[in-house]
Amino acid sequence: MRGLARKHDVSILSFNSSDAYAEQSVAATSAYCRQVMTLPDLEPRSVAEKRGLQMQSLLSLHSFEHLQVIQRTDFQNKIDEQLANNDYDVVQVEFANMACYRYDSRGKRPLMILDEHNIEYDLQRRTAGSADGWSRQAYSSLNWRKLAREEKAAWKRFDGVVLTSGRDRDLFETSSSGTRSAVIPNGVDVTQFHPSTAAPDADRLLFFGANNYFPNHDALLYFIDEILPKVVEFRPNAKLTIVGPGIQPAIVARQSRNVEIIGFVDDLMPHLERASVVVVPLRIGGGTRLKIVEAMAKAKAIVATSIGAEGIDLADGRDVLLADDHKLLPIRSCACSRIRN
């Protein structure tokens, strides 16, 4: 949006969180957007409300994500108001679940673009295989199929779809005809993320990302329980630092002398500069991981699963060390990759 705003008038309509950082995000976006409009958070207000909506979705032809969004008629009303009172050249919709709203213009029809950060049904399909308990597996198996039908139908309603990886485009092209697509890889601001001259802590491992995002939560549990003990056998002072919002109780319960929980931070950079290795042990994923390209821009050694590094043009042993099991990796010279202008 900052880039577009240099030559265009940009307005944003968004759900916004209800936490202490909501006002800061609006103020920051207002610095370059012509108009910033936000409505209260999309997330259910309680676990009970979320479970009720999930139960409702089981009896519906629609996915949970569709029902969660479509019930917010206040957002639809705001879309209608903006399209009625403004002649936009482009309307860009972020995430597939937001595609279920109507974007009917009464005047000049804008170009309609859908930005797919992940192919959501594929991400949920993978998640279904990792869900704990038969009830969650059954729910996820039903829900991702509904989501697939909705997401594929949404693609046909747009003039173009933006994807982040070649793998996602392959999935898109098997299901969609007549809609243009473009792969725009996730990037990083190299004026902000660049190698540091300070020496890192040799025993410091770093995982950063939102812990209330299930693939990240699953990855952390897997790494702490299965991988970190093997590392500690060889490096007793090794410490995993966890940075990011939404820390879950299961992670808090695993805090120890070898597991440090930081949580949400205003500035990731000090933690990234201190780390010797960034770990990306994802077993579920879609699109590409920003944490990979950000760690590369900082010239950090990266150890990841194949899914963690999926969709990025990387060479194992040169840009990243890939490992998908519990075996210790042989020592190889990989260490640092650097993104250059």
**Inter-residue contact 111 to 103 (CB < 8 Å):** no
Concatenated DSSP letters for 154-212?
HHTTSSEEEESSHHHHHHHHHH--S-EEEE------TTTS---SSPPPTTEEEEES-TT
**Inter-residue contact 151 to 143 (CB < 8 Å):** no
Tell me: do 149 and 230 sit in the same domain. no
| Domain assignment of residue 196, yes or no | no
| CA dist 261 → 20, 110, 189, 219, 340 (Å) | 20, 46, 26, 15, 31
The pTM of the full predicted model, rounded to 2 decimals, is: 0.81
DSSP 110: P
Return all residues near 261 (Cβ < 8 A) that are at least 6 apart.
242, 247, 251, 252, 255
Tell me: do 75 and 162 sit in the same domain. yes
Best CA proximity match to 264, nearest among 19, 18, 50: 19
Best CA proximity match to 99, nearest among 15, 156, 169: 156
| Domain assignment of residue 327, yes or no | no
Containing structural domain, residue 124: 42-183
| Domain assignment of residue 29, yes or no | no
**Inter-residue contact 212 to 242 (CB < 8 Å):** no
Tell me: do 292 and 215 sit in the same domain. yes
Q: In the chain, which ranges are E strands?
A: 11-16, 35-40, 90-94, 111-115, 160-163, 180-183, 204-208, 239-243, 259-263, 277-280, 301-304, 321-322
Tell me: do 131 and 225 sit in the same domain. no
Q: What tokens does 237 get?
A: 């002072």
CATH number at 257 reads 3.40.50.2000
Tell me: do 123 and 169 sit in the same domain. yes
Model confidence pLDDT, tens digit, residues 48-73: 888 888 888 888 999 998 998 998 99
Integer Cα distance of 76 and 320 in angstroms? 44
Tell me: do 249 and 167 sit in the same domain. no
Overall residue count recorded for the chain in this entry: 341
Tell me: do 169 and 259 sit in the same domain. no
Q: What tokens does 154 get?
A: 């949404």
pLDDT for 336 equals 45
Tell me: do 216 and 305 sit in the same domain. yes
pLDDT tens, position by position, for the chain (341 residues)?
888 999 999 999 999 877 767 888 888 899 999 999 999 888 777 778 888 888 888 889 999 989 989 989 999 999 999 999 999 999 999 998 999 999 998 778 999 999 999 898 988 888 776 666 677 778 888 989 999 999 999 999 999 999 999 889 998 998 876 889 999 988 888 888 889 888 999 999 999 999 988 889 999 999 999 999 999 999 999 999 999 988 999 999 999 999 999 998 888 999 999 999 999 999 888 778 889 999 999 999 999 999 988 888 888 989 999 998 765 555 444 444 444 43
Tell me: do 315 and 266 sit in the same domain. yes
Tell me: do 176 and 208 sit in the same domain. no
pLDDT for 131 equals 61
Tell me: do 134 and 220 sit in the same domain. no
Return all residues near 273 (Cβ < 8 A) that are at least 6 apart.
196, 198, 200, 298
Domain boundary among 128, 153, 183: 183
**Inter-residue contact 130 to 110 (CB < 8 Å):** no
Tell me: do 179 and 224 sit in the same domain. no
Return all residues near 220 (Cβ < 8 A) that are at least 6 apart.
207, 211, 242, 251, 281
Q: How many domains does the chain have?
A: 2
